[in-house]
Amino acid sequence: MDLSNENILYIQKNGVEYLQFKKLLEYKETINHAYSLGLDKNYRTAKANKEKLDKKIYQKAIKDYEKLCYAIGSKPEHLVKTNQAHTDEVKIAKQKINQDKPDFNLEQYAKTDGLITNQKDMMLSTTNADCILLLFFDPKNKVIANSHSGWRGTLQRISVKTIQKMNKEFGCKPEDIICCICPSIRKCHFEVEEEVKLSFEEEFKDLGNLSENGIIEETIPNQKWHIDTVKINQEILKRQGLKPENIIDSGICSVCHSNMIHSYRIEKQNYGLNTALIELK
């Protein structure tokens, strides 16, 4: 299925399927990027409890990363991956730790959900199975970032904290930064109970009445609600100073397209992971 739309291109190359953002392709001489597709691919490099994967499963993940990197003209030894834990921790990737292989499962990136760098040949990687992945690029200062913003990360405003750190560490101005929102669970399927709904209403009071502005919608009276976490990220990024035209949404729901994109809500405990990559050439 071709998932191309006004903001993204679906590409199939050398047996690998992936998406690329048209806006970022305007800078293809400067950056590489991709969002993986395909249920036969799994970019998991460690168990959720940090235990090592079975060797065959880990080697399969390495092969999947290699194929994707080669398809977009990069190298797997450039990879730098966070050890995501639904935190708001964003770190600066100053240099590759392993020179001849990917920087996977390193203590330097423990409990880290966002990475920023201005170094070339460092392919920042995050993974998801419904959570939001955000690719950032400042074309003026040549700085990139990659952040994982699940509903917990969204509550902690990791997208805003990424922008703030890009500004503090590299002088990036929000009005220059491009943010691309990868496929994720959308309002149509992100259903929560009252405790989570109340947390969003409390945290995002600055956005006004979340029910009146369409961010929260009741689905079962006093029991279940749908929440638009993508719209929340769009709104808080605009308030941080990003231009609306520089906040680019893929518009794709991982649950609606669970035949091509891993989804925790569909796959449950045996869920696989997609990856989003971005690199300065």
What would the DSSP string read from start to end of the chain?
Answer: -----SSEEEEEETTEEEEEEHHHHTTTTTEEEEEE--TT-----S-TTSPPPPHHHHHHHHHHHHHHHHHTT--GGGEEE-B--S---EEE--S-S-SSS-B-S-GGGBT--EEEE--BT-EEEEEESSSEEEEEEETTTTEEEEEEE-HHHHHTTHHHHHHHHHHHHH---GGG-EEEE-SB--TTT-EE-HHHHHHHHHHTGGG--TTTTTSEEEEETTTEEEE-HHHHHHHHHHHHT--GGGEEE---BTTTTTTTS--HHHHGGG---EEEEEEE-
pLDDT digit string (tens) for the chain, length 281 residues: 899 999 999 999 999 999 999 999 999 999 999 999 999 999 999 987 667 788 999 999 999 999 999 999 999 999 999 999 999 999 999 999 999 999 999 999 999 999 999 999 999 999 999 999 999 999 999 999 999 999 999 999 999 999 999 999 999 999 999 999 999 999 999 999 999 999 999 999 999 999 999 999 999 999 999 999 999 999 999 999 999 999 999 999 999 999 999 999 999 988 999 999 999 99
pLDDT of residue 49: 64
pLDDT of residue 48: 73
pLDDT of residue 261: 98
pLDDT of residue 143: 98
**Domains of the chain by start residue, with CATH:** 8-186+248-280 (3.60.140.10)
pLDDT of residue 52: 78
